[in-house]
Structure 1
Amino acid sequence: MAKLLFGLLLVLAVAGTTAAEGCGGDREDMIRECKEYESFPAEPKIPPSPACCAVWQKADIPCLCKRVTKETEKVWCMEKVLYVAKHCKRPFQPGYQCGSKSN
């Protein structure tokens, strides 16, 4: 019984952390649907799938951009992120900052 209770508390704690992030679901969707189009190497740039673009259309991009760190940028090619955003018809506005990359 104690193990079951501990497991339930652990699940609730993880769910609470994701909810507290505000865009945790968007982050998971982006990883699942867009990683192959947005990760290194910088070339070639491949047009993203409709599923990836659907994630871009609904995602809280400002929230996601606030969470981009130097470590994140070792996996996600920000040049490709800008490419995918534009291709999915949700480009960054001029001067917008996402991680180390600004448009």
Structure 2
Amino acid sequence: MAAKQLGLGLLLILAVVVAAAAVPGQECNKDKLDMIRECKKYEVWPAEPKMEPSPACCAVWQRANIPCLCTHVTKEAEEVWCMEKVLYVANFCKRPFQPGYKCGSYTVPPLGQ
């Protein structure tokens, strides 16, 4: 009986953890915090100068859920984050955006523009 209760308790804990992970707006919170910590200084206004990002910033880019992050880019965020610099960092870190991709209200321009 104790083993059955323990198993039920573990199942309940697992259900709570899964439910907490699925809270809307929280799915890429760690990526957002990591991006702020490691990349913000390379991606904020003014548009110039553009600086090569650190290896730690590129590591965040390589593992981050970019589509999720882009769904959380607001007009207010775009007043802080320079999307031209974001594209520069994404390209430098070998995870470029495709032309026409939308991140927040920003649409990635065609190549060469």
Shorter-chain TM band? 0.7 to 0.9
Aligned to 1:91: 96
Aligned length: 87
Which is higher, the Rg of structure 1 or of structure 2? 2
In 2: Cα distance, 1:52 partner to 1:98 partner: 19
TM-superposed deviation, 1:100: 2.2
Identity rate, percent: 70
Q: Aligned-pair RMSD on alpha carbons?
A: 1.3
Greater helix content: 1
Q: Find 1:69's aligned residue among 74, 78, 87.
A: 74
| Amino acid aligned to 2:45 | F
Runs ≥4 in structure 1, deviation > 3 angstroms? none
Aligned counterparts, 1:1-103, within 5 A:
16=20, 20=23, 21-103=26-108
Structure 2 unaligned residues grouped into runs of 5+ = 1-19, 109-113
| Amino acid aligned to 1:23 | C
Structure 1 unaligned residues grouped into runs of 5+ = 1-15
TM-superposed deviation, 1:95: 1.2
Give the secondary-structure state (helix, strand or coil) at the position aligned to 2:91. helix
TM-score normalized with structure 1 length:
0.80
